[in-house]
Amino acid sequence: MKFKYIYGPVNSRRFGKSLGIDLLPFKTCNFNCVFCQLGRTHRLTNERKEYVPFNDVIKELKIAVKRFEFDVITFSGSGEPLLYSRLGEMVDLIKNIFPDKKLCLLTHAPFLHKKEIRKEIQNIDIFSPSLDAGTEETFLKINRPHPEIKFEEIKEGLLKMREEFKGEYYLEIMYIEDINDDEKNIKGLKKFIE
């Protein structure tokens, strides 16, 4: 069987063997990051909706769990997973069906300044957000977000998630030579992390 929404498992330095779940059409995202391994964003959107059929994803996952050995199930793929409006429901169902499997979310953390969105993902085991800039100017240059996304709201959401989240929390930073590796950005990131 060829999978449409499940990929891998892929080897991850951080998480071991990762079985991926892709909940979005190719390059549907609310960011257009200069470093994205998939290239430019085709559909820059900030609309949360059910982009792919919920039940089809679960059907594929049930087959994949029987077929592959892996350490973690990771929400990632073709775009920002938090755009998927039924992500929280999917997390809860997967935890119910496969209670022994760890769930990971890779995200650029839009929407997390909203309590209801943070609540949706409280049942994941590993939260791995990205923050690539110490200043708003650099954030706009590197991540090229949808106009509705605000740098201060991203930081606010990351801090609130850190206070509330009980699982493993790994902040990921992508340094790009001559773009965000200057003293101002490094100091801004250091201050935020502290």
Per-residue model confidence (pLDDT) at position 160: 96
Residue 14 belongs to a domain: yes
152: in domain: yes
Query: Is 139 in a helix, a strand, or coil?
Result: helix
Residue 52: domain span:
6-193
- pLDDT (average), residues 41-46: 88
Percentage of residues of the chain with pLDDT beyond 90:
78
Spatial distance between the Cα atoms of 136 and 152, rounded to a whole number of angstroms: 8
Average pLDDT over all residues of the chain: 93
Residue 101 lies in a domain: yes
Burial class from Cβ neighbours inside 10 Å (0-12, 13-18, 19+) for residue 166 reads exposed
- pLDDT score of 56 more than 90: yes
Number of domains composing the chain: 1
Asked, for residue 138, whether it belongs to a domain, the answer is yes
d(CA 32, CA 84): 17
Q: Is the dihedral of CA 30, 32, 38, 40 positive or negative?
A: positive
Question: pLDDT (tens digit, 9 = 90+) per residue, 71-109?
Answer: 999 999 889 999 999 999 999 999 999 999 999 999 999
Report if residue 1 sits inside a domain.
no
* pLDDT tens per residue across span 118-158: 999 999 999 999 999 999 999 999 999 999 999 999 999 99
Between CA 88 and CA 165 the distance in angstroms is 14
The confidence band for 37, taking pLDDT boundaries of 50, 70 and 90, is confident
Give me the CATH number covering residue 36.
Answer: 3.20.20.70
> CA 160 → CA 114, 116, 153, 154, distances in Å?
9, 12, 10, 10
| CA gap 82, 61 in Å, rounded | 19
Could you tell me if residue 112 is inside a domain? yes
